[in-house]
Structure 1
Amino acid sequence: MSSTKKLTTIAILSAMAMILNLLIQFPIVPAVSFLSYDPKDIIIVIAGFIYGPMTSFIMSLLCSFLEIVFRGGNLLDVLMNVISTCTFACVAACIYKYKHSKKGAIAGLVLGTVCCTLSMTLWNYIITPIYYQMPRSAVVGMLLPGIVPFNIIKCTLNAACAMLIYKPLVNALRNTQFVPQSNTNETLTKDVGIVSAFIIVSIVVLILVMKG
């Protein structure tokens, strides 16, 4: 595959991630309403599955800087966005790179969810008091009722959506010859799609319940 075609594909996927970011953003856990969900990580982790973890890292940097251009913010926003996306998408893509199978994809997404939740718990403890000028004790009080469940829900939803749309998105890119045909069997099959859809519906119901 030519480097030009690869760069074009990454640019298309980055544009898709940014469009999702700009169109969809909302709080999901009332205890931490300043934390908003957006679905850009779905596309970023799929790009990592296609091209490797470095692609996810580059896209996370690009999207984070573009987000402050369009939405406003500062370098702390970039830092937190990059850490959040990379600990989820890069970890998942790294596992999938070395275990290129359905089990590898699932294991990568689960480990990415765990790593992102742990890292964002730590980094919110460090950065949030600086960013919002609040006492650190107030942030400690938000960890278990707010910050931890927010990241678990966000990453689980993104993981399920990635599993659900990976195959149709990659097939569309292959049909337009942006991505080469695979010589291996498809790793994300119908049973995974059914489970992913069930997880997505369950999380949506959970969010609606939390919002009353």
Structure 2
Amino acid sequence: MNTSINTKNIALAALFTAASLLLSFIQIPIFPAAPWLMYDPSGIVCLIAALAFGPKLGAAVAIISWLPRVFLDPFGAPMGMASTCAFVIPAALIYIRGHRSRAASVTGMVTGAVVSVAVACVLNLFVTPLYTAVSMMDVVAMIVPILIPFNVLKMVINTVAGQVLLAPCMNALKVERGDA
């Protein structure tokens, strides 16, 4: 697939960014043990953008779509940017190096998911004490029973959705971009 920057790619990147931004406002409690931790499906859009257009554009979609949220959530938004980039960049790099095969998409998404979970846990250690009444040691105590399961569940949802949506989205982008 052609990844050169052109007007169509810019317009499609803008559409992906807008879709990711809108989806970031959908907050779903998916982990009953920690109802304050919310899942939003914006990472799926960032993932598809990264796989379709490459890791740089995928990361740009993730960062730009989270920027407006910085004003609403100055601690959570940067964590969202970092964990989303940690997911989509490895996924796209492995997918592209694997000649855009199904096996490469699975390997890339699983690798990105593991990196994202690790990044989210590390960031929580430093960021959560800044805006809550908990200490770093309290966050350490939450890693195994709360943070890892929540983030793994989030990544499972994103990976399964990414696998389901990848082929149809790539086919639609191929038709839209005239690459068919």
- The match for 2:129 is 129
Match of 2:22 among 16, 19, 23: 19
CA distance change for structure 1 residues 25 and 179 in 2, over 3 Å: closer, same or farther? farther
Measure the CA separation in 2 of the matches of 1:16 and 1:51: 16
Contact 2:20–2:62 (CA under 8 A) maintained in structure 1: no
User: What is the identity percentage for the equivalent residue pairs of Structure 1 and Structure 2?
Assistant: 30
Aligned AA (1:26) = I
**Aligned-residue CA RMSD (Å):** 1.6
**Counterpart check, 1:87 vs 2:86:** yes
**Counterpart check, 1:63 vs 2:65:** yes
- TM-score, normalised on structure 2? 0.90
Aligned AA (1:34) = W
**Counterpart check, 1:115 vs 2:108:** no
CA distance change for structure 1 residues 106 and 77 in 2, over 3 Å: closer, same or farther? same
Larger radius of gyration: 1
1:2 Cα deviation after fit: 5.8
Aligned AA (1:170) = M
**Deviation above 6 Å: which 4+ runs of structure 1?**
none
Give ranges in structure 2 of 5+ residues lacking alignment: none
Instruction: Name the structure, 1 or 2, with higher relative contact order (CA <8 Å, separation 6+).
Output: 1
Question: Is the partner of 2:177 in helix, strand or coil?
Answer: coil
Measure the CA separation in 1 of the matches of 2:160 and 2:16: 18
Question: Is the partner of 1:30 in helix, strand or coil?
Answer: coil
CA distance change for structure 1 residues 150 and 54 in 2, over 3 Å: closer, same or farther? same
1:179 Cα deviation after fit: 6.0
Give ranges in structure 1 of 5+ residues lacking alignment: 182-212
For each residue in 1:120-141, what CA deviation from the matched residue of structure 2 results, as whole angstroms up to 9, or x when unmatched? 1111111111121322222122
CA distance change for structure 1 residues 2 and 52 in 2, over 3 Å: closer, same or farther? closer
How does 1:185-196 map onto structure 2 within 5 Å? none
Contact 1:9–1:178 (CA under 8 A) maintained in structure 2: no
CA distance change for structure 1 residues 150 and 167 in 2, over 3 Å: closer, same or farther? same
Measure the CA separation in 2 of the matches of 1:56 and 1:154: 18
Measure the CA separation in 2 of the matches of 1:122 and 1:32: 18
Contact 2:20–2:43 (CA under 8 A) maintained in structure 1: yes
Measure the CA separation in 1 of the matches of 2:73 and 2:122: 21
For each residue in 1:72-115, what CA deviation from the matched residue of structure 2 results, as whole angstroms up to 9, or x when unmatched? 121x3332011110111111011111112111111000101111
User: How many residues are matched?
Assistant: 176
**Counterpart check, 1:97 vs 2:100:** no
